[in-house]
């Protein structure tokens, strides 16, 4: 096997220079002459009929531009999967912060005051603010039964196992909303021209999602909509579908005013009005043999979608498919449901349903261990999937993965056994209790089932006039390394130095649709297409006489010559679904994902019973990822994801009141600082992946799945008290501990 030169190396981040010098230009760094600022007047009630909109007559409304639903040229919806979400509320509102009216003005400060000077009277309607209320149909707020989507996975005959079980273990596990908290707030600039159409620059993940949404909203043909991604300061899914909304707003104002319009949210607006991770509730009922083997079971997975459908069906899908974890289920029935409530719609956040259902699965495994009298290690070892066995969707595990051995490596790396013993002894006296917990899990990368086929992604590679090479893809960089990795792959495929390859700014006028930058698909799926397209360039030049083992200089000469003669040198590659991969969308059965990445995370925690605060003291993250394309970027992804997972478990709580987030500031929505995180020790194994570029599997979301259950397991280990709900704040630990016997023995 040829030794790779570029792939596998930690080459410099392609756009890194601008980031460390302050030259990188994010949306709010960009101004256009004549630009107006835009702002949004939003609902103050969770549900109601708009009775009247009035404008403070003492306010100077000169120079203001107004847009309501009536101004929408096309369809008043944010086109995504369904079309139930209005761009602007028209007569009714279904969640706090729902956009109703748009304003624009040259002065940002006057604009702010103007928003306060619009008065809206509502006839409030009863709001549904819990999943349970939604399920009980106290009010019907969406469709006929408040249900966005359901799924059923049925493998084998579950009814047959209850009678045979030595133990039936039940549990209910819940997770709360989580804010993506990218440090750069949402922002866009829109420019309209009756000839060119609409141009949007934005902080966004998916230019072609915005493109599609603008076509429908503004009633414009494809060639009159242009979307360009600006440097984006973090996204994590929070800029997957939301940008279509803010872009639509800026576009409407730009069309009305015939001026460029910039909309930038401040932190409070971004936190309170935009999407969050779906809250979840999982109920497990599992039949277990006395040897600790899972015989079968039922899993009910429910997520709160908020007021409109948006991405809930897809989040539900992923959550449901991952609900069984990395274990062998001889039979199982998994029911998934996404319900409507009157919260701002929940959306994509790294992991996308899997962190929720895997939290439940991994907490439940420890519960099963206790019921049966086995250790958390042993219960997992006895139930791990083996090559040749099938997942809950009956996907055959074809990789030669040995999860038992994998677990063993994680235990050694974390010194698990010695620590467990030591903690048992040391936890006697004193208020500080230590514990250690395991999470074993998997993450399927790429779109589920036939999703990638549906996306039909296209990538281009271009040989430029100066002999260098350019990657053409709509895949966006927002810190995770898209630019770097795709250029590495192209350089490798072309046998050129990394510095010879650039990547075009994602601009729908310039690049083909390589699909959304989500689902951990970029390195694996889009990377494969980059490689194919690059090989296409080689083949074209080879046909013109360029020999196989060309030097970079020879390549340049050949490339320049071709471009001079033919005007351009381009090669495109389109996604080709791998043969023998079968997915049944009706029965939800088959090969859900081209491949899974596997992981074992071990968290060591300390709980101080004088303050009831739990902190993570050490963290081992071991994962099998196919191939590490860029060691530093890969490590950075895992460490960052673990940090967010620690936040999910212990720090990040959304405080809701009547459907509105109350703690929409960085001072009281708590994410970890540099003083709060343990050493995050990252280890990789590489088994390759025939479906991914150079053997890579997707890794962006994987690290989000493991930390929370590992931490909750560790806290139970430390205290002997069970916690099945996150976030787990000191106040929650206090309640549980003071209700248990622990308080008496201290």
Site for another protein in 470-499 (CB under 8 A): 478-481
Considering only residues 377 to 436 of the shown chain, the ones binding another protein according to CB under 8 A are 431
Question: What is the four-CA torsion angle of 311, 314, 320, 322, rounded to 10 degrees?
Answer: -110
- Return the closest-CA partner of residue 604 out of 548, 569, 636, 646: 646
Longest Cα–Cα distance of the chain, Å, equals 86
> Is 734 a residue that touches another protein (CB under 8 A)?
yes
Q: Please, are residues 736 and 726 in contact by the beta-carbon 8 Å criterion? A: no
- Return the closest-CA partner of residue 267 out of 565, 668, 706: 668
Q: Which stretch binds another protein (CB under 8 A): 147-155, 240-248, 598-606, 732-740?
A: 732-740
Considering only residues 216 to 245 of the shown chain, the ones binding another protein according to CB under 8 A are 231-236
Among 74, 156, 577, 636, binds another protein (CB under 8 A): 636
**CB nearer another protein, residue 551 or residue 662:** 662
Q: Which stretch binds another protein (CB under 8 A): 17-25, 146-154, 497-505, 550-558?
A: 17-25
> Is 671 a residue that touches another protein (CB under 8 A)?
yes
> Is 670 a residue that touches another protein (CB under 8 A)?
yes
The β-bridge partners of 479 are none
> Is 665 a residue that touches another protein (CB under 8 A)?
yes
Q: Please, are residues 533 and 573 in contact by the beta-carbon 8 Å criterion? A: yes
The secondary structure element, H or E, covering residue 437 is strand 432-444
**Helix boundaries (H) for 219-277:** 242-257, 267-273
CB of 205 to another protein, least distance (A): 12
Q: CB burial class (10 A; 0-12, 13-18, 19+) of residue 177?
A: buried
Considering only residues 162 to 201 of the shown chain, the ones binding another protein according to CB under 8 A are 180-185
Considering only residues 555 to 594 of the shown chain, the ones binding another protein according to CB under 8 A are none
Among 75, 256, 267, 283, binds another protein (CB under 8 A): 267
> Is 106 a residue that touches another protein (CB under 8 A)?
no
> Is 22 a residue that touches another protein (CB under 8 A)?
yes
Q: Please, are residues 261 and 250 in contact by the beta-carbon 8 Å criterion? A: yes
Among 194, 549, 586, 673, binds another protein (CB under 8 A): 673
> Is 17 a residue that touches another protein (CB under 8 A)?
yes
CB of 673 to another protein, least distance (A): 5
Q: Give the gyration radius of the chain's Cα atoms.
A: 26
> Is 694 a residue that touches another protein (CB under 8 A)?
no
Among all chains, which residue has been given the structure tokens 């620590």?
A: 419
Q: Please, are residues 207 and 515 in contact by the beta-carbon 8 Å criterion? A: no
Interaction pattern, residues 597-626, with another protein; x per rule: CB under 8 A: ------------xxxxx-x-----------
Q: Please, are residues 647 and 178 in contact by the beta-carbon 8 Å criterion? A: yes
**CB nearer another protein, residue 53 or residue 632:** 632
> Is 632 a residue that touches another protein (CB under 8 A)?
yes
Rounded distance between C-alpha atoms, residue 692 and residue 672, angstroms: 33
Q: Which stretch binds another protein (CB under 8 A): 167-175, 295-303, 395-403, 674-682?
A: 674-682
CB of 261 to another protein, least distance (A): 17
Q: E strands along 559-669, which residues?
A: 569-574, 583-584, 589-590, 596-608, 613-624, 656-657, 660-661
Q: Kindly tell me the number of DSSP H helices and DSSP E strands found in the chain.
A: 20, 28
Rounded distance between C-alpha atoms, residue 6 and residue 13, angstroms: 13
> Is 722 a residue that touches another protein (CB under 8 A)?
no
Considering only residues 34 to 53 of the shown chain, the ones binding another protein according to CB under 8 A are none
Among 243, 437, 640, 709, binds another protein (CB under 8 A): 640
């Amino acid at each position: 096997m040829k030794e790779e030169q570029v792939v596998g190396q930690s080459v410099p981040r392609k756009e890194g220079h601008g980031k460390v010098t302050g030259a990188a230009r994010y949306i709010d760094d960009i101004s256009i002459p004549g630009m107006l600022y835009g702002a949004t007047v939003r609902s103050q009630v969770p549900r109601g009929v708009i009775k009247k909109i009035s404008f403070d007559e003492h306010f100077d409304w000169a120079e203001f531009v107004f847009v309501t639903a009536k101004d929408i040229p096309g369809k008043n919806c944010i086109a995504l999967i369904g079309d139930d979400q209005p761009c602007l509320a028209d007569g009714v509102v279904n969640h706090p912060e729902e956009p109703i009216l748009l304003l624009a003005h040259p002065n940002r400060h006057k604009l702010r005051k103007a928003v306060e000077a619009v008065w809206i009277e509502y006839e409030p309607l009863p709001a549904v603010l819990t999943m349970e209320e939604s399920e009980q149909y106290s009010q019907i707020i969406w469709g006929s039964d408040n249900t966005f989507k359901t799924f059923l996975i049925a493998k084998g005959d579950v009814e047959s196992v209850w009678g045979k079980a030595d133990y039936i273990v039940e549990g209910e596990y819940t997770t709360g909303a989580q804010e993506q908290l990218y440090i750069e707030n949402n922002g866009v600039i829109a420019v309209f021209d009756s000839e060119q159409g609409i141009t949007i620059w934005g902080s966004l993940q998916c230019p072609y999602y915005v493109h599609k949404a603008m076509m429908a909203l503004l009633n414009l043909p494809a060639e009159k909509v242009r979307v360009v991604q600006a440097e984006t300061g973090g996204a994590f899914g929070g800029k997957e579908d939301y940008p279509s909304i803010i872009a639509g707003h800026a576009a409407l104002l730009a069309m009305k005013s015939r001026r460029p319009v910039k909309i930038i949210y401040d932190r409070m607006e971004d936190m309170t009005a935009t999407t969050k991770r779906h809250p979840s509730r999982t109920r497990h009922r599992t039949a277990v043999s006395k040897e600790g083997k899972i015989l079968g079971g039922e899993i009910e997975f429910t997520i709160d979608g908020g007021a409109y459908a948006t991405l809930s069906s897809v989040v539900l899908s992923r959550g449901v498919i991952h609900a069984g974890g990395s274990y062998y289920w001889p039979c199982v029935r998994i029911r998934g449901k996404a319900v409507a409530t009157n919260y701002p719609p929940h959306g994509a956040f790294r992991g996308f349903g899997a962190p929720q259902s895997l939290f439940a699965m991994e907490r439940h495994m420890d519960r099963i261990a206790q019921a049966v009298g086995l250790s958390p290690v042993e219960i997992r070892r006895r139930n791990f999937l083996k090559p040749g066995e099938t997942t809950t969707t009956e996907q055959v595990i074809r990789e030669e993965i040995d999860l038992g051995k994998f677990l063993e490596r994680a235990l050694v790396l974390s010194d698990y056994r010695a620590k467990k013993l030591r903690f048992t002894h040391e936890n006697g006296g004193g208020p500080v209790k230590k514990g250690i917990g395991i999470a074993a899990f998997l993450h399927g990368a790429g779109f589920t089932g036939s999703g990638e086929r549906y996306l039909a992604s296209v990538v281009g590679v271009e040989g430029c006039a100066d002999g260098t090479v350019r990657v053409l893809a709509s895949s966006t960089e927002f810190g995770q390394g898209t630019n770097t990795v795709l250029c590495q792959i192209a350089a490798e495929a072309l046998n050129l130095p990394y510095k010879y390859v650039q990547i075009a700014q994602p601009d729908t006028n310039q690049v083909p649709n390589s699909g959304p930058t989500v689902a951990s698909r970029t390195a694996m799926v889009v990377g494969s297409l980059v490689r194919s397209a690059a090989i296409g360039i080689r083949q074209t030049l080879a046909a013109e006489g360029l020999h196989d083992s060309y030097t970079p200089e020879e390549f340049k000469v050949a490339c320049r010559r071709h471009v001079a003669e033919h005007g351009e040198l381009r090669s495109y590659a389109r996604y080709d679904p791998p043969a023998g991969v079968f997915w049944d969308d009706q029965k939800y059965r088959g090969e859900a994902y081209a491949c899974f990445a596997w992981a074992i995370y071990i968290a060591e925690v300390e709980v101080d019973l004088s303050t009831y605060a739990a902190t993570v003291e050490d963290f081992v993250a071991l994962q099998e990822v196919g191939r590490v394309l860029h060691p530093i970027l890969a490590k950075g992804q895992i460490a960052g994801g673990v940090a967010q997972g620690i936040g999910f478990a212990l720090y990040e709580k959304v405080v809701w009141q009547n459907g509105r987030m109350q703690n929409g500031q960085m001072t009281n929505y708590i994410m970890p600082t540099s003083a709060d995180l343990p050493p995050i020790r990252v280890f990789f194994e590489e088994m390759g992946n025939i479906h991914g570029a150079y053997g890579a599997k997707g890794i962006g979301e994987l690290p989000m799945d493991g930390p929370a259950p590992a931490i909750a397991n560790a806290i139970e280990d430390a205290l002997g008290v069970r916690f099945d709900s996150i976030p787990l704040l000191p106040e929650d630990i206090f309640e549980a501990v003071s209700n248990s016997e622990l308080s008496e023995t201290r």
